[in-house]
Chains A and B, each alone.
Chain A
Amino acid sequence: MLSAIGVSSLDDLFADIPATVRATRFEVPPPLTEQEVRAELARLADRNALPRISFLGAGAYRHLVPSVVGEVIGRSEFSTSYTPYQPEVSQGTLQSIYEFQSLICELTGMEVATASHYDGATATAEAALMACRLTRRDRIAISSAVNPQVRRVVETYCSGPGIEVVVVPADLAAGGSGLTGPDVAGGILDAGFACLVAQQPNFFGGIEPMRELAEAAHAVGAQFVAVVEPTSLALLQAPGEYGADIVAAEGQPLGIPLSYGGPYVGLMAARMESVRQMPGRLVGATSDAKGRRGYVLTLQAREQHIRREKAASNICTNQALCALAAATYLTAVGPAGLREVAELSVTQARHLAAAIEAAGLGERRFSAAYFAEVAIQLPDAARRHAELARQGIVGGYLIERDYPELRDTLLLAATELTRDEEIDAFVAALRATR
């Protein structure tokens, strides 16, 4: 092969690298047999601590992944294919992304969806920047009831372009609603704001007054960015119906395992009139020279490999395999199945809260209606959370890690996988830590 390309030795291929910066030694351990490698990887994997029971949510949720999802994304045509820049050889990939985009539009009630982003946090940050481009304003307002990790990512994205992030304080007083007040938002918003960002359900599981918050944003000519939990859309009103201009979401609950934090997938959707300011990849449907339906990457002039520093965003990729998992999940469960998932999650969350309150172990921190996650106040929560963890029980999320004023509060999530026996075991273990 060396002679075929006209060089005499392997070293000739590195001739352009100065000798002073070339490595001469590599500290690599000796080779192992396949058995030895397997044993070493198993030893490392055994260090993972898997909980027996978990009520942890706070942005990523434990849902059943139907086995068809693994079958579809495991196909080598999907799992090994690269970016579909050449439509003539990528119709399968492009069609699957187009169908994913279509499903997200159906779910959110919006007109156009992107091919996906890294995760919900970056999708939210991109949505805020998109609002700034659309309105030509440089301040954004974001509710304190939006997931704190998402808010930190939004702040990071806004710091480069010098966009000011103003936090709208939710009603987090003890016994308060736990929601974002439209009047409070209205008092903060003015014509200098590009958008108001609110989450539904919010970080505490509360069901926000999204329509009124949208109105508060529109009253000052700002965009309303709705950050939504996708399975909740089977029961709650779609953002397109309550006046959201841009929708962002974490797609993990749709057939993607928790995997200790990733890979996940960001969803973004908007109205067609804003499509040229949407970041990232878009697949469109068209017809070829023979009039047959085909799919292509479209509107690429927004992306950085064409527009460079004038692109809508630096992002020009997507999470194709995770997006395919989400599309497969939605197709497998269907609208009725997704509704079942949501209803069971909501039911089990109420069962959980009721069991804790009936046992006199704690009470709901906020008064507003909640979806499938609830903030429970109980004495000495941090110590008891740690004791439960040692027993293999994850007692939700310790809220004071992000909200120092909310001491002694656990954020507990339930899903269709939460069994009654798990709730009983949790209550018993919680009682024992008093």
Chain B
Amino acid sequence: MLPDDLRYSREHEWVRVDGLQATIGITGFAADELGDIVFVELPEVGSRLTQFATFGVVESVKAVSDLYSPISGVVSEVNQALRESPELLNSDPFAAGWIARVAMADVAELDALLDSRSYAELTAG
């Protein structure tokens, strides 16, 4: 169920790396915990993200949660589909529900993230 090619943060975000470009989003575990998502506050294109700092907000029917960036870099694109269809985070969190594309500042930061097995262990308990 958990994509193998991704890295994961303890705050339940994922990163897909493609050279120096990264795509980030939230995991299915996070989406399930939040419940039906009704709104996503996306970062601005061109804004600078810092690893583990907040970069946006996701709102469900029962809670509001900050989003913590799994990596540092500059936002090159955000998923506009989430404005009209925030529920994509529930239905397809690892693909169509991607949140932002980021030009990575430091590839070494990925070492601080978990692989799919470690993340599965984290969320199993």
Say whether A associates with B: yes
Q: Which A residues lie at the B interface, using CB under 8 A?
A: 276, 301, 306-307, 310
Is there a chain A Cβ closer than 8 Å to B53's Cβ?
Answer: no
* Docked CA distance A110–B41 (Å): 24
Which interface residue of B41, B64, B66 has the most chain A CB atoms within 10 A?
B64
8 A-B pairs (CB sep. < 8 Å)? A276-B39, A276-B41, A301-B39, A301-B59, A301-B64, A306-B64, A307-B64, A310-B66
Residues in B with CB closer than 8 Å to A306 are 64
* Docked CA distance A301–B39 (Å): 10
Residues in B with CB closer than 8 Å to A276 are 39, 41
Residues in A with CB closer than 8 Å to B39 are 276, 301
Q: Is the interface of B mostly helix, strand, loop or mixed?
A: strand
Q: Which B residues lie at the A interface, using CB under 8 A?
A: 39, 41, 59, 64, 66
**What is the number of contacts between chain A and chain B, taking CB atoms within 8 Å?**
8
What is the minimal beta-carbon distance from B42 to any residue of chain A, in angstroms? 12
* Docked CA distance A301–B38 (Å): 11
* Docked CA distance A276–B64 (Å): 13
Which interface residue of B41, B59, B66 has the most chain A CB atoms within 10 A?
B59
Residues in B with CB closer than 8 Å to A310 are 66
* Docked CA distance A40–B64 (Å): 53
**Closest chain A residue to B38 by CB distance?**
A301
* Docked CA distance A306–B39 (Å): 15
* Docked CA distance A301–B59 (Å): 8
What is the minimal beta-carbon distance from B119 to any residue of chain A, in angstroms? 27
What is the minimal beta-carbon distance from A241 to any residue of chain B, in angstroms? 28
Residues in A with CB closer than 8 Å to B66 are 310
What is the minimal beta-carbon distance from B9 to any residue of chain A, in angstroms? 20
**Closest chain B residue to A302 by CB distance?**
B64
Residues in A with CB closer than 8 Å to B59 are 301
What is the minimal beta-carbon distance from A285 to any residue of chain B, in angstroms? 16
* Docked CA distance A301–B41 (Å): 12
* Docked CA distance A13–B27 (Å): 48
Residues in A with CB closer than 8 Å to B64 are 301, 306-307
What is the minimal beta-carbon distance from B59 to any residue of chain A, in angstroms? 5
Known: A301-B59, A306-B64, A310-B66. 5 other contacts (CB 8 A): A276-B39, A276-B41, A301-B39, A301-B64, A307-B64
| A-B pairs, 5 with minimum CB distance | A301-B64, A301-B59, A307-B64, A306-B64, A276-B39
